[in-house]
A and B are shown apart, each in its own frame.
Chain A
Amino acid sequence: MKPVSRREFLEAVAGLGAALFIGGCSKNGQAGPKGSVPRMPKVSVDGLFVASGRGPAKNTRAAIEAMGGMGKFVKKGDFVVIKPNIAWNRPPDAAATTNPEVVSELVRLCKSAGASKVLVLDHVIDRPAEVVLGFTGIKDAVEKAGGEVKAAQQESDYRTIEIPKGKLLKSDTLVRDILEADVFINVPIAKTHSATRLTLGLKNLMGCNWDRQSWHQSASLEQCIADYATAVRADLTVLDATRILLTNGPKGPGRTKDVDKVIVGTDPVAVDAYGAALFGLQPKEVSHILIAAQMGLGSLNPSVVKTV
């Protein structure tokens, strides 16, 4: 019996849900049945893979290859969503957004592995989003690599998901494309953040959600970040530490440091723990990383760190 793909499963669930659902849109206006299944990873690989000294594209390729290749995650015909940080209208050297060469190399690797479509998206903060996609260098780089780019700027781009393990968040929204993707790759840049000390992989997922403000106004932004990560799990986290932002994050301008590393893993906590060390911090000093570890999302001390 052919295994049911994630997309087929979701389509079946959505169809059944639509048939049963009466009453229209949820409070936040997302169309479709409330309470889509959380987004869980399919493959788990022990340890972290760190490539350095080669520049952004070659580091990305080397780290993925060390992990066993993109084929471990992406199969022929898959729909892949890549979520970098494209929140700000900043050029790549400002280290406020993910390096476009990291993103485009991932697009190439996914296409080579057989992906039918690779969509790169974010919920862009600066306006207008089209200008941001261009100015960050993401649009050009991705399109040249054979991918597509999208700014998820409409509420209709989002669907409600349940967060059964959440403490503060019991439900929230997620970009529909991520929910529908066969493979979801989270590609943050490592930088400081005035509210959460650092923003790495876990915090980058906040950009998959429609309403950021409600998290800021909640009892604990850090708990919201960890709650959301229990339901929105990337198959792979690729941390861009080509150049990191040391001050005035998340947007800068601020002091930067050239680190020339790309860190890859399936354990989102382990990736963030490694990222924290780049700033001279213990992972426990960053509340949302600690909370995520306590909620069982991963390890603060990965068993294997393979440097290539």
Chain B
Amino acid sequence: MKRLLFVVLLIGTGVLSAAEIPPVQKLLPAANAVKGFKLVPGSLIYAKGDDLSKIYDGGYELYTKNGVIDAARQMYQREKDYVEVTMHTMKSDKAAADFLSYWLKENKVKSASKSSGTTFFVVTKPNVTLYFVKRRYFGTVAAFYAEERAKKDVASFRDAISKLIVSR
């Protein structure tokens, strides 16, 4: 009986832990979702509301004012290549689209493209960064290495995340 109770408690704890993971954090690709990229241990950050300062320091108010509810960030590594993925839950689909427009303007990019159900654009200076939205999620994928390789990788991350959004 005690053993059964222990097993039930164990399963219950596991279910509870899984349930506590914020939805936005579940959009961060797993290790090797993009071939060769591992998670950088200790790099995961989740923050909500004013706690977004943990991700953006003093810059966080720009995000909250534009409708970011919460965000999760994870670093990935493939040998010496680093990729940083940050996913944000926006207060609405419109807020997500508007925020992408803000970044378009900020980066002086004329228009966004569409692929895998996402609307996105890429800037390549000073490093390759992809900005994208899908539904009420706004994301950035930044890669810090040779441009052509980085452009392929950020697109792969975008596709991996897009699949996770579909499945939700």
Give residues in A with beta carbon < 8 Å to B.
87, 89-91, 93-95, 125-128, 131, 135, 193-196, 199, 206, 212-213, 216-217, 221, 247-256
Contacts and interface: CB of A to CB of B under 8 A. Distances in A.
B54 A252 contact: no
B59 A127 contact: no
B59 A247 contact: no
A250 B58 CA distance: 8
B38 to A, nearest CB: 12
A248 B50 CA distance: 19
B57 A128 contact: no
Interface of B: 40-45, 50-51, 53-54, 56-62, 75, 82, 84, 106-108, 123, 125-127, 129, 142, 144
22 contacts: A89-B84, A93-B127, A125-B54, A127-B43, A128-B41, A128-B43, A131-B42, A135-B82, A194-B58, A194-B62, A196-B58, A212-B53, A213-B50, A213-B53, A216-B61, A247-B106, A248-B59, A250-B59, A255-B107, A255-B108, A255-B125, A256-B126
Given A91-B144, A128-B42, A221 B58 contact: yes
Contact of A195 (B40, B50, B59, B127): B59
Given A193-B59, A216-B61, 11 more contacts: A89-B84, A93-B126, A94-B126, A94-B144, A127-B75, A194-B58, A212-B58, A213-B50, A217-B50, A247-B107, A251-B56
Contacts of A217: 50
Contacts of A95: 126
Contact of A251 (B50, B57, B125): B57
B53 to A, nearest CB: 5
A24 to B, nearest CB: 28
A194 B63 CA distance: 10
A248 B140 CA distance: 13
Contacts of B50: 213, 216-217
Contact of B61 (A87, A194, A206, A252): A194
